[in-house]
Amino acid sequence: MPNKSNHDANSSNATEDRITIKNLPVTSAETTISTAQLETLLETVSSLKHLPGALLPILHKIQHQLGYIPSEVIPDIAQLLNLSRAEVHGVVSFYPDFRTHPCGQHLLRICAAEACQANGARALMQHAEEKLHIKSGHTTPNNNITLEAVYCLGNCTAGPSVEINQRLHGRVTTTLFDQLTAGLITAGPINAMPRPDQC
Ligand code: FES
């Protein structure tokens, strides 16, 4: 677990590492993603842009790499795919799986689809929101936990289903939820850098 001093150092490095895209063959005025992330992003877009219906695979790939779709890069994606910004933004906002902000250190996803709802998923989500003091779709202020609703985890016969850092759990009661998350929830400040591998 990184400590506070590392966090300060990382924050400083992150600030120094922020770049402007204007020197690259794209049109965004400014972004807060790092140079390395941008280079990876551009490689991804370039390598996939010739696919039919390339936008979705590109967005999925970017989210897998960065953990989210930075709004700053939507104009660049639009230009490289010869789409409007509204078209790209519309796709990002239409699909609930696409995240527009980095997720917290731990990602909790509660299934809100029909079969799990029939087994108490709605009450479980309410319990999670009250316990974490955040609404679904949000991250705790210390960037510790992101709570999301998801629509089917492929575990319909054992609902309510919860995925915690990509690990699936079935028949999750409020008591089990508390047990599963007991070691994850940190109330105070933490050095929670985004973890794209779990987003
Ligand atoms: S409905 Fe919840 S896992 Fe399928």
Domain of 151: which CATH number? Answer: 3.40.30.10
Residues in a beta bridge with 164: 108, 167
Last residue of a domain, one of 94, 115, 138: 94
In a domain, 101, yes or no: no
Distance 163 CA to ligand 1 centre (A): 11
What is the pLDDT, as a whole number, of residue 149? 94
Q: Is the CB of 150 under 6 A from ligand 1?
A: no
Do 51 and 116 lie in a common domain?
A: no
- Number of structural domains found in the chain: 2
Quickly state the pLDDT bin for 1 (edges 50, 70, 90).
Answer: very low
Q: Do residues 162 and 169 make contact, with C-beta atoms less than 8 angstroms apart?
A: yes
Do 118 and 190 lie in a common domain?
A: yes
Q: Is 168 helix (H, G, I), strand (E, B) or coil?
A: strand
Q: Is the CB of 152 under 6 A from ligand 1?
A: yes
Q: Is the CB of 111 under 6 A from ligand 1?
A: yes
Print the domain residue range for 111: 106-198
Q: How far is CA 12 from CA 6, 16, 18, 99, 104, in A?
A: 10, 6, 10, 25, 19
Last residue of a domain, one of 71, 94, 117: 94
Q: Is the CB of 159 under 6 A from ligand 1?
A: yes
Higher per-residue pLDDT: 79 or 1 = 79
Res 166 pLDDT > 70: yes
Do 32 and 110 lie in a common domain?
A: no
In a domain, 153, yes or no: yes
Q: Is the CB of 158 under 6 A from ligand 1?
A: no
In a domain, 40, yes or no: yes
Do 37 and 86 lie in a common domain?
A: yes
Q: How many CB atoms lie within 10 A of CB 120?
A: 16
Do 43 and 67 lie in a common domain?
A: yes
Atom nearest to 158 CA in ligand 1: 3
What is the pLDDT, as a whole number, of residue 188? 64
Do 114 and 85 lie in a common domain?
A: no
Do 194 and 110 lie in a common domain?
A: yes
Residues in a beta bridge with 138: 147
What is the pLDDT, as a whole number, of residue 28? 32
Q: Is 53 helix (H, G, I), strand (E, B) or coil?
A: coil
Residue matched to tokens 């690990």: 167
Do 75 and 156 lie in a common domain?
A: no
Residues with Cβ within 8 Å of residue 76, at least 6 apart in sequence: 21, 26, 27, 28, 41, 42, 45
Last residue of a domain, one of 94, 114, 144: 94
Beta strands in the chain, from DSSP E residues, in sequence order: 106-111, 138-139, 145-150, 162-164, 167-169
Q: Is the CB of 168 under 6 A from ligand 1?
A: no
> Residue 159 and residue 81: Cα distance in Å, rounded?
40
Give the rounded percent of residues in the chain with a pLDDT score beyond 90: 43
Quickly state the pLDDT bin for 191 (edges 50, 70, 90).
Answer: low
In a domain, 99, yes or no: no
Distance 117 CA to ligand 1 centre (A): 8
Q: Is the CB of 44 under 6 A from ligand 1?
A: no
pTM over 0.85: no
In a domain, 150, yes or no: yes
Do 114 and 190 lie in a common domain?
A: yes
Q: How far is CA 92 from CA 17, 20, 69, 103, in A?
A: 26, 23, 8, 16
Do 88 and 27 lie in a common domain?
A: yes
Distance 178 CA to ligand 1 centre (A): 20
Quickly state the pLDDT bin for 126 (edges 50, 70, 90).
Answer: very high
Q: Is the CB of 119 under 6 A from ligand 1?
A: no
What is the pLDDT, as a whole number, of residue 30? 37
Residue 81 C-beta-side C-alpha neighbours within 13 Å: 27
What is the pLDDT, as a whole number, of residue 128? 97
Q: How far is CA 152 from CA 62, 82, 136, 158, in A?
A: 22, 33, 16, 11
Do 80 and 138 lie in a common domain?
A: no
Do 44 and 77 lie in a common domain?
A: yes
